[in-house]
Amino acid sequence: MQLTFHGAAGEVTGSCYLIETSELRFLVDCGMFQGGREADKKNRTAFDFDPETIDFVLLTHAHIDHSGLLPRLRVWGFRGPVYATSATSDLLQVMLKDSAHIQEKEAEWRNKTRRDKHSRNSATQEYAPLYTVAQTEHFLKQIHSVTYDNEIQPHPQVRCIFRDAGHILGSAIIELWLTEGAVTKKIVFSGDLGQPGHPIVRDPTPIRQADILLVESTYGNRLHRNMLDTLDELVFAINNTLSEKGGNVIIPAFTVGRTQDLLFLLIDLYRAGKLGEMDIYVDSPMALAATDITMKHLALLDREAVDAMQWMSGDGRKPRIHFVQDVEESMHLNTIRHGAIIISASGMCDAGRIKHHLKYNLGRQECSIIITGFQAARTLGRRLVDGARVVKIFGEDIPVRAKIYTIGGLSAHADQAALLDWLRHFTQTPEKTFIVHGEINNANALLSAIKSRLNWNPVFIPDHKTTVTL
């Protein structure tokens, strides 16, 4: 039995783990690398294995850094099933098509730029998308839905159970029993673990035992602000910007998870009288579909979220929420000078419509940018968090005069304390623990905390493409 780390090793994005025995090969996650110029190259060379030989894939959740290379896996020959929770399966129908659309538009823009720079008589190499919408539609037929807490057996050597990870709708911890000969090992993949008490989703499921454990470390080096202080800061940022300074509030947000969290919070704060009348523009082509999917899976939400959604559907006194679909309407938002809350993707500011809204609002000191989620290294969002005074957007230098708020308490990832609390439910130390899905400083901090506070050993931070024997 072998495990190879093909992504999210010493970094956050690109989650992909290859498990092999003498009889089978399968993946847990197949995510896209994000952030910086190297990401595209890494996505194009991600498979150091033959996709045709992969028997199946187990998917923890729908975020693109976990699922975004699945259509490319099919392009290169994979034809097996992909197992994911029902909510994740629904979200993938929207998210992967949107990702493919972005890939096609990016390729179109790059090729046009190259042709403009070169003589029509000179040959230039065409830039191809990672995958197309048509290829994605073919892939989506390979998805098989599973339910939480029910055992499945995708292969005679493999049994697994998906548990609620409390990260986004449909997110899962995967408990997996792998048998080869007379030996059975239990491997647990934490996926992305949510912060207990986080709005909308339920808390992560405790796990009691594992021989081999892979645990995420996105925020392994820090603690989030408590929710009360976080909401106070959010209320101040919005009221100060809209009522006192007369500007706009721009919120980069993942279309799935963070956008629904924000809508719930804004509704709840309005109900409590902490926020006044406001126009909320959700500018992402797939946000309405993702929100509809959230409503379809109300049974997976916590009680507070259900109450807020039901109030929203039945009360005439409510915030004005506008879901923006077409490009012309999105462009019109950039003519609004004050009074707007614009929630738009991508969450790390590196693609999509958010870049246009930042271009038109970053240079205005009466506006505010509210960062509510993790910003990977080398992304535009990370440069804003790190205090850049000028950023380049669409080739243009944009001065940063708007107020930048970083509100970490809204993160959908567990902080160090929550990670350690989740680990404390294990009744004995795993034979091997691997810390993944974290920048190296964050992973090192979690490793030190696990060793010093839980007395676990051995604990490793694997390198990219490291293979270990189980």
How much is the pLDDT for 317? 63
**Higher per-residue pLDDT: 290 or 333:** 333
| pTM for the predicted model, two decimal places | 0.88
- Spatial distance between the Cα atoms of 41 and 298, rounded to a whole number of angstroms: 39
Q: Taking residues 286-305, report their average pLDDT.
A: 86
Cα 373–chain centre separation = 9
Q: Taking residues 35-62, report their average pLDDT.
A: 93
Label residue 111 exposed, middle or buried (CB < 10 Å: 0-12, 13-18, 19+): middle
What residue has token string 């708007």?
402
**pLDDT tens across 89-101, in order?**
999 999 999 899 8
- Spatial distance between the Cα atoms of 414 and 395, rounded to a whole number of angstroms: 36
- Spatial distance between the Cα atoms of 262 and 258, rounded to a whole number of angstroms: 6
**pLDDT tens across 354-376, in order?**
999 999 999 999 999 999 888 88
**Higher per-residue pLDDT: 458 or 408:** 458
Of the chain, the percentage scoring pLDDT greater than 90 comes to: 74
Average pLDDT score, the chain: 93
Torsion, Cα 250 251 256 258, to 10 degrees, reads -150
pLDDT at 37 over 80: no
Tell me if 139 sits within 8 A of 71, measured CB to CB. yes
**pLDDT tens across 228-276, in order?**
999 999 999 999 999 999 999 999 998 888 888 899 899 989 989 999 9
- Spatial distance between the Cα atoms of 456 and 430, rounded to a whole number of angstroms: 8
- Spatial distance between the Cα atoms of 63 and 170, rounded to a whole number of angstroms: 10
Q: From edge to edge, which strands make up the β-sheet containing 152-155?
A: 152-155, 158-164, 172-180, 183-189, 212-216, 432-436, 459-460
* Predicted confidence band of residue 132 (pLDDT cuts 50, 70, 90): very high
* Predicted confidence band of residue 156 (pLDDT cuts 50, 70, 90): very high
214 pairs with which residues across the strands? 189, 434
- CA-based nearest residue to 259, from 303, 203, 324: 324
- Spatial distance between the Cα atoms of 431 and 213, rounded to a whole number of angstroms: 8
How much is the pLDDT for 451? 97
How much is the pLDDT for 209? 98
Q: Taking residues 398-414, report their average pLDDT.
A: 92
Assigned token pair, 8? 């999210």
- CA-based nearest residue to 82, from 58, 49, 110, 46: 58
Assigned token pair, 335? 């003519």
Q: How far is CA 309 from CA 260, 266, 271, 334, in A?
A: 10, 12, 12, 29
213 pairs with which residues across the strands? 188, 433
Of the chain, the percentage scoring pLDDT greater than 70 comes to: 97
How much is the pLDDT for 198? 82
Q: Taking residues 94-116, report their average pLDDT.
A: 87
pLDDT at 125 over 90: no
- Spatial distance between the Cα atoms of 407 and 234, rounded to a whole number of angstroms: 7
Residue type, 65: D
Task: Tell me whether strands 467-469 and 340-344 are parallel, antiparallel or unpaired.
Answer: unpaired
Rg (CA), the chain: 22
Assigned token pair, 130? 């990672």
pLDDT at 318 over 90: no
Contacts within 8 Å (CB) and 24+ apart, 98-101? 98/255, 98/285, 98/286, 99/32, 99/64, 99/68, 99/71, 99/136, 100/71, 100/129, 100/131, 100/132, 100/133, 100/135, 100/136, 101/133
How much is the pLDDT for 120? 57
* Predicted confidence band of residue 295 (pLDDT cuts 50, 70, 90): confident
Residue type, 256: V
pLDDT at 171 over 90: yes
pLDDT at 190 over 60: yes
How much is the pLDDT for 316? 60
Are 2-222+413-469 and 227-410 the same fold in CATH?
no
pLDDT at 58 over 60: yes
How much is the pLDDT for 273? 93
Averaging pLDDT over each range in 36-45, 334-343, 348-357, which range is the top one? 334-343
CA end-to-end distance (rounded Å), the chain: 5
- Spatial distance between the Cα atoms of 413 and 437, rounded to a whole number of angstroms: 11
Q: Please give the CATH superfamily to which domain 2-222+413-469 belongs.
A: Ribonuclease Z/Hydroxyacylglutathione hydrolase-like (3.60.15.10)
How much is the pLDDT for 420? 98
CATH topology of domain 227-410: Rossmann fold (3.40.50)
Structural domain boundaries in the chain: 2-222+413-469, 227-410
**pLDDT tens across 417-456, in order?**
999 999 999 999 999 999 999 999 999 999 999 999 999 9
Tell me if 372 sits within 8 A of 410, measured CB to CB. yes
How much is the pLDDT for 139? 98
